[in-house]
Structures are given as C-alpha cells and as structure tokens.
Amino acid sequence: MSSGFDLPRMMRTFASFVPILRRLSGAIALCVAGAVAAQGSGFLQARPPLAPAAAASNGIPPELQDAYRRYAAQPLAPAEAAPRPAEALPRPAAAPSPGAAHEPAPEPNEFQRFVAQSTGQSLPLFGQNLFAGVPTTFAPVENVPVTADYVVGPGDELLVRVWGQVDGDFRALVDRNGTVNLPRVGVFNVAGVRYQDLHAFLRNAIGRLYKNFDLSVSLGQLRSIQVFVVGQARRPGSYTVSSMSTLVNALFAAGGPSAKGSMRRIQLKRADAVVTEFDLYDLLLKGDKSKDARLLPGDVIFIPPAGALVAVSGSVNVPAVFELRATESPFGEVLAWAGGLSTTASGQRAVVERIEDRKARKVDEFTLGREGLARRLRDGDVVRVFALTPRFDAAVTLRGFVAEPAHYPWRAGMRVRDLIPSKEALVSREVWRVRNRAEKTEPGSEAELRNEVKRAEEVNWDYAVIERLKDDLTTDLLPFNLGKAVLEGDAAQNLELRADDILTVFSKKDIDVPVASQARYVRIEGELRAAGVYKVLPGETLRQLVARVGGLTPQAYLYGAEFSRESTRQAQQRQLDQALSRIELEARRISAERAQAIT
C-alpha cells in the first residue's frame, strides 16, 4: 500500500546533511573560541586572517574559510574590549535592603586610636553598635495606636461617624488654621485638643445643634513634622518624621552620635528651652526611656561633643570605651557598664594607665577589692583587667595513650603507680564497649579487627616519659619503663611525681618499636584447616603460620594462591592518583597551547 511517504529516502537525505552540520558546528565553536581567546589576551587590533593552509590545518571546512577570514579581519570595538586577565573586574554592588543601610563603620576617634596603640586592641565606643544598620529612610510609625496624650494639629485626618438625629461618616482633614469642616454639622477648631478629649469636645460642639445622637471619632492619616538634628550627629540635617515620633526615633534616623559625639547628654530643644536631656546609657543598661519625649514641629535635637572617656580592656564581658557622666566615676560603676568580670578574669589585680596633667603617662596597679572598685577614674584612663593563668595549682597531667587523659590532684609522695594503678587505666572506654558487644561482629579488614582486640596490647610498655618544669623554666625529661613500673611494680621505675609534672604514655604507633615487639595480624582464608585471623609471632614466615594453624586441605591448589598486602595496595593507589594528576595537567597544557595557536 502506497502512502506517498518515502521513509528510506528521507533517512538518506538526512544522513547526507550530518557531515555538513558537524563541520558547521565545529567552525562556529572555533570562531567563538578564537573570539574569547583574543578578548582574554587583550588584543584590540584587527585579527590577522589565517592563510588557506592555516585555516585548513585548524579544521575549518573549505566552504567556511572565507567567512572565518572576514570575521578575523574585523577589529573589536572599544566597548567590546575585555580587560586583561590581571585586571580585576568590578563586581556589581549588592542592592541594599529596603530597611537598613549598609554604611561603613565610623572612623575611630583620637582616644580610640590612642587605646589601640597602648593595648594592641581596637575597642568600640560603648553603645555605638545600637545604630549599626540604621534605616535608609525614616519609616514613620503609622500603624500603632494613638496615645491618649497625642495633640491634634494641622495635617491630621479625623474619622468621625455620627448616628441618631443626624447621620454621617466623615473623613475630615485639619487645615492650617486648625479647623475641620463636617458637612451638615459645621466647622470646629480642634488644634491643640488631646486625643483623649477629642470625643467629648466634638460631642459638645455638635450638641449645640443636634440632640439625641451618638458619635465615634478616631484618627486616620497623621501629619508629618520637620525636626532638626545638629551637633556631633552621624548624619546631621533636617528630617521629616511622623508626628508620633520621639527623640529616640529621630536619633535612629540620623544614625546616632558620631565617634566624637556624646551619648549621655543629648538635648531636645524647643523655643530656646531644653525640653529634656536624654542619656543613651539609661536605654542601653536599664532599658529606661522615661526621658524620651514626643517631637513637635521645629524641634531641635542637639548632640554635644563627647565628655570624659575611659577604656576598659582585658577579661571583662564588654571591653569598650565608655563616656563618663561627670569628670570622675568609681571603677566599680564603669566595671558594671562593662558587664563585670569575665569567667576567666583573675579577680586579683588590674592596672590603669593615666595621663597626668596632660604631660606624662603613668601606670598604677591596684587590687579588685573594695578599695580598688572605689578607685576614681578620670578622663583618658585605660584600665586592663588580667586573666587567670592557665597553670593548675598542685596538679599532675596524664595524657597520651590512656583511658582517661586529664588533670589529677597532686599530693606529696605521689608516684607513677598512684597515677596509673593498673593496666586497666590504659584501656579506653571504646575498647570495653567493643568487647562488650553481644551482637555478631564480622571484621572486614585487618584494621577493623585490630580495633576489636585488647587495647592494652598496643601500649608501648617499654617507654613512657615525665615532663618536668625546672626552677629556671627549662624542661627536663625523665624516661622510665612503663611495664616494669605498672605491671611488675619495680620500685626503680616507679618514679616520684612533683606538682605540674606531665606523664605521657605512647602507643607502638607513636614511636617505632622493634619488630619483635610489634603486633601484626594476618587473615588467611580458603582451603585451610583453620582459616581465620591470627597474630604473627616474631620472625614467623607464611609457611610456618600455615603449619601452625593446621595446614592445607586436600583440595588446596597451591599455584592459585593469592597474597595481598595493605601497604602495597595503598602505595599503588598513590601512584595511580599521581599518574591521573599528571595526565590532567598535560591535557590542560595542550588545550591552552591550541587556544593560543588559534589566536
């Protein structure tokens, strides 16, 4: 049956196009590679066209060689030129999040640099991190309930609903004169009325015209006000904020005080009078905002220069530079600002570096008792609290190949047998856990089996050492025979221990021991009378081992025996990995040379 569809003919036609498509894709890839290589090498001049022989040698089909030569003859436009490989490509800046500004940290002030030179540690200004990541634009607090003491003013929106003798829903905006116009009701002056009195005020005003009615009133869109932040602010200027904003809100909008500004005497001024003086330390240390105040149009927030500065470093919880409220403060109060002593603080002494009469620097040491905490700190003082020394008092250390490496209390007359009373002290908990397993175990290799055997067999019984610190701070090593001291109770090897001694026990892997003392295991399996895993005796050969376990079975085929060694396998694997690495490097080198030849 004929359908007019000649499938064999179409297949032959498609097959004839395959070589052309392959050559075309190869030419396109070659052109792209040449363009990339030319741009990467920094060539901005016209590419020299390849001769026909060179084009053919590079695998370009004859019918595409002219096109390739025309492409190579085109110069790169300056805008398309890529930078040289040595030049760093500029990375696009990350888009800032809508809520926070990613500004660089403020420059340290002069006293911070002075402290860094003295202590070798850069200390931040206490509380400055509160203003890290401040908002990029001031987002007014609009969706919070209006407080009862809020004063209505021009620009506020009133939502009034009246029902009864008169009905209506009104959205009225307070105009510049402070009045609102309620249709069919009248015009009322509401400027200066507190929100808690607004309901009664409107009820009395409407009650002059209507009787038997009720109403509800609330605030809609609140007005914006303009305030000024001046002085030592991080971003001084004029700010338009919500009428619900307070002094603290405006401080966050301005980024807080600068490194030279005070955090303890921030003033809110209104009509040439100081409304409040806010101490940020009250907010930071106590969470106290009682001196925060609502802002009104035209308010000025003034941040004066910083007062007396002291620094506390070392073993305290919050090392920083602190500003004193007065010219002097007791050290105990400043230490409380720093979060108190850290867990590892010495608690015995501290030193203070002081500038005397702006002429010389002096260092004084004081204890951290009652008198030390009452010591008065002045402007420019740098206090350093010392940490505990890591030395243990009246202790000896047991470490190395032991069950419980730790620090142990020392007593007069203590010896090695007192620290290691028996060989069980040298068997780790893991060994006993493995030995106590009741389920079936199938060791898969020599290494796994070695973890199953008694751990004490791998202890180096011939050598252990005591490390002792002498009076001149030099180290002395006292070696002894661990087996004789622990197992045999040899008094000559049972050395006396002193405070701060370190006793180290080694395994046979830590220090190479004679072959006769090494524990070796082999696995023999197949046609043997007793196949299994055995410990090799010193100097024992394979023939002797097979004879010791009972010999071969009658079905054993000696010419088919296989002998493998783990160390040889690992060495062969390393050689294979090195060969593969050399092949990869050679392939990369050849690819790079071909790309360079094309360009």
Over range 1-24, report the average pLDDT: 49
Q: What is the pLDDT of residue 81?
A: 38
Give the model's confidence band at 31: pLDDT under 50 very low, under 70 low, under 90 confident, else very high.
Answer: very low
How is residue 512 written in tokens?
């190479």
pTM: predicted TM-score of the whole model, two decimal places: 0.61
Q: Which amino acid is at 561?
A: A
Average pLDDT, the chain: 79
Q: pLDDT tens-digit profile of 153-210?
A: 888 888 999 888 888 888 989 998 889 888 888 888 998 888 889 989 988 888 888 8
135-139+224-303: CATH architecture:
Roll (3.10)
Return the top range by mean pLDDT from 88-92, 142-146, 588-592: 588-592
Q: What is the pLDDT of residue 529?
A: 87
Q: What is the pLDDT of residue 457?
A: 52
Domain extents in the chain: 17-80, 105-134+308-389, 135-139+224-303, 157-219, 395-517, 521-563
Q: pLDDT tens-digit profile of 343-371?
A: 989 878 899 999 988 888 999 999 888 99
Give the model's confidence band at 517: pLDDT under 50 very low, under 70 low, under 90 confident, else very high.
Answer: low
Q: What is the pLDDT of residue 433?
A: 72
Task: Tell me which fold the domain 157-219 belongs to.
Answer: wza like fold (3.30.1950)
Q: What is the pLDDT of residue 459?
A: 83
Angle of helix 62-72 relative to helix 7-40, nearest 10 degrees, comes to 30
CA neighbor of 153 nearest in space, from 118, 193, 113, 123: 193
Q: What is the pLDDT of residue 100?
A: 47
Q: How many residues does the chain have?
A: 599
| Range in 225-239, 280-294, 491-505, 514-528 the model is least confident about | 514-528
**HEC readout, 412-443:** CCCEHHHHCCCHHHHCCHHHHHHHCCCCCCCC
Residue 27 scores a pLDDT above 50: no
Residue 579 backbone dihedrals phi, psi, to 5 degrees: -65, -40
Q: What is the pLDDT of residue 3?
A: 43
Task: Tell me which fold the domain 105-134+308-389 belongs to.
Answer: Outer membrane lipoprotein wza fold like (3.10.560)
How is residue 473 written in tokens?
């701070």
Task: Say if CB 419 and CB 398 are below 8 A apart.
Answer: yes
Q: What is the pLDDT of residue 89?
A: 33
Residue 435 scores a pLDDT above 50: yes
The one-character DSSP state at 90 is: P
Q: What is the pLDDT of residue 60?
A: 47
Residue 439 scores a pLDDT above 60: no
Over range 541-560, report the average pLDDT: 88
* pLDDT greater at residue 414 or residue 535: 414
Residue tagged 């009225």 (tokens): 172
Strands 186-189 and 266-270: unpaired
* pLDDT greater at residue 97 or residue 578: 578
The gap between the terminal CA atoms of the chain, to the nearest Å, is 59
Residue 268 scores a pLDDT above 60: yes
How is residue 573 written in tokens?
């694997």
Same fold, 105-134+308-389 and 157-219: no
Quote the distance between the C-alpha of residue 80 and its chain's center. Answer: 39
Residue 53 scores a pLDDT above 80: no
Query: Percent of the chain at pLDDT above 70?
Result: 75
Alpha-carbon gap, residue 288 to 282, rounded angstroms: 5
Residue 12 scores a pLDDT above 70: no
Q: What is the pLDDT of residue 559?
A: 84
Angle of helix 566-598 relative to helix 7-40, nearest 10 degrees, comes to 80
Give the model's confidence band at 293: pLDDT under 50 very low, under 70 low, under 90 confident, else very high.
Answer: very high
Q: What is the pLDDT of residue 441?
A: 52
Alpha-carbon gap, residue 384 to 353, rounded angstroms: 8
Strands 168-173 and 179-182: unpaired
Q: What is the pLDDT of residue 309?
A: 96
Task: Say if CB 477 and CB 376 are below 8 A apart.
Answer: no
Residue 271 scores a pLDDT above 50: yes
Residue 599 scores a pLDDT above 80: no
Task: Say if CB 313 and CB 319 are below 8 A apart.
Answer: yes
Q: What is the pLDDT of residue 183?
A: 85
Query: Percent of the chain at pLDDT above 90?
Result: 35
Alpha-carbon gap, residue 201 to 80, rounded angstroms: 73
Q: pLDDT tens-digit profile of 300-311?
A: 999 999 999 999
Q: What is the pLDDT of residue 142?
A: 57
Over range 294-304, report the average pLDDT: 93
Q: DSSP string of 525-591?
A: -SSBTT-EEEEPPTT--HHHHHHHTT-B-TT--GGG-----HHHHHHHHHHHHHHHHHHHHHHHHHH
Q: pLDDT tens-digit profile of 535-547?
A: 888 888 888 888 8
Alpha-carbon gap, residue 278 to 268, rounded angstroms: 8
Residue 9 scores a pLDDT above 70: no
- 98: β partners: none
